[in-house]
Amino acid sequence: MLFQVYGDNALFQWVGWVMVFIGLILLNEFARRSKTGGIIMFVVLPIFMTIYCIAVTLAANAGLSWGVNNPTVLFQNGWFHYAKVYAALAGCIGFMIIKYHWGKLGKSEMFKCFPFIIVAINIMIANVSDFESFIHYLQFTAGVIQDPSVPGSAGAFVQNGSVVWVTSEHATQIAGYNNLFNGIAGLINIFCMTGWWAIYTSKKKDDMVWADMTWVFILAYDIWNFCYTYNCLPNHSWYCGLALLLAPTVANAFWNKGGWIQNRANTLAIWCMFAQVFPQFQDSFPQMGFDSVFAVNSTLNYTVNLTVSLIALAVNVFAIAYIAYRAKKLGVNPYKHEVFVGTRDYEQARARIDEAELAA
């Protein structure tokens, strides 16, 4: 069992998952199908989110009770959540620039490598978080025992037979070699992205299409990222590790082939903004006055975390090996050229690309 989805709140937990999954799909469709939808979701809403976050943070720093006890300050005020939400938003805006050919950047051939760069940055943000947990494990092995009443402090401690530590946002995480193995998987995953400059606009102008980002990368990414959330966001992974990953993957599989990375950026940004402002939806800290019926925790079992991490590492090793095989077979550099030409996924995505762009 990966998650604690049983007991009195089981119905709410499953209903919550379905609401998040469907909500992300619908909002992604709203955002991707028009310039207006994209601007509302990734320019207007982020402005209001930023104003809100600055206000509650300043209030907390001033010692005002409504700021000190604000859920965003308590549960989402670490470096990771802010880095992730703004990196995701940067991706969404950059993808719209490419899709709609806005300004000089949108018409620049060099800017076509922006999707690779911003995705690599997003992956590295998660990798750093995994390695941060591994450092806590190393501190523990060196004799540094964390005091759980001081969240975010050095070291770790043993809970139910597993080494864990409490983050500055009060979440309890497993710490160990699971973090190291998944961090390595994430580094490999960066180089599973191929055809960095082969980025185009769809015929309907509703998608940025990366045809060479096929099931090989998507599978490797989804398993790695799920493992990351399971390791480092154990009290959020039910939503951000399952619903959030499946929403863009389902869309790519059934109706906008080649648009997975745009779907992923859109849904990630939407979810991160929601979680930043309304963290109490998915958090349960009764001792602090927050106990959502939708909250779901992982089992916090080291053996389970280690198993998932090893699977993520194995899948990414397979993916990079397969990419190397395809590149050698075609005699191309997998980063300067596309390596999945002729495969079903690639050809379906390529058929959606604006022919004028292919001819250019």
Torsion over CA: 243, 247, 248, 253 (sign) = positive
The phi, psi pair for 200, rounded to 5°, reads -135, 175
Per-residue pLDDT of the chain (360 residues; tens, 9 = 90+): 899 898 899 999 999 999 999 999 999 999 999 999 999 999 999 999 999 999 999 999 999 999 999 999 999 988 999 999 999 999 999 999 999 999 999 999 999 999 999 999 999 999 999 999 999 999 999 999 999 999 999 999 999 999 999 999 999 999 999 999 999 999 999 999 999 999 999 999 999 999 999 999 999 999 999 999 999 999 999 999 999 999 999 999 999 999 999 999 999 999 999 999 999 999 999 988 899 999 999 999 999 999 999 999 999 999 999 999 999 999 999 999 999 999 999 999 999 999 888 876
- Determine how many CB atoms are found less than 10 A away from the CB of residue 303: 12
> How is 17-52 classified by DSSP, letter by letter?
HHHHHHHHHHHHHHHHS-HHHHHIIIIIHHHHHHHH
Distance CA 300, CA 281 (A): 20
Q: Which residue has the tokens 């079903």?
A: 344
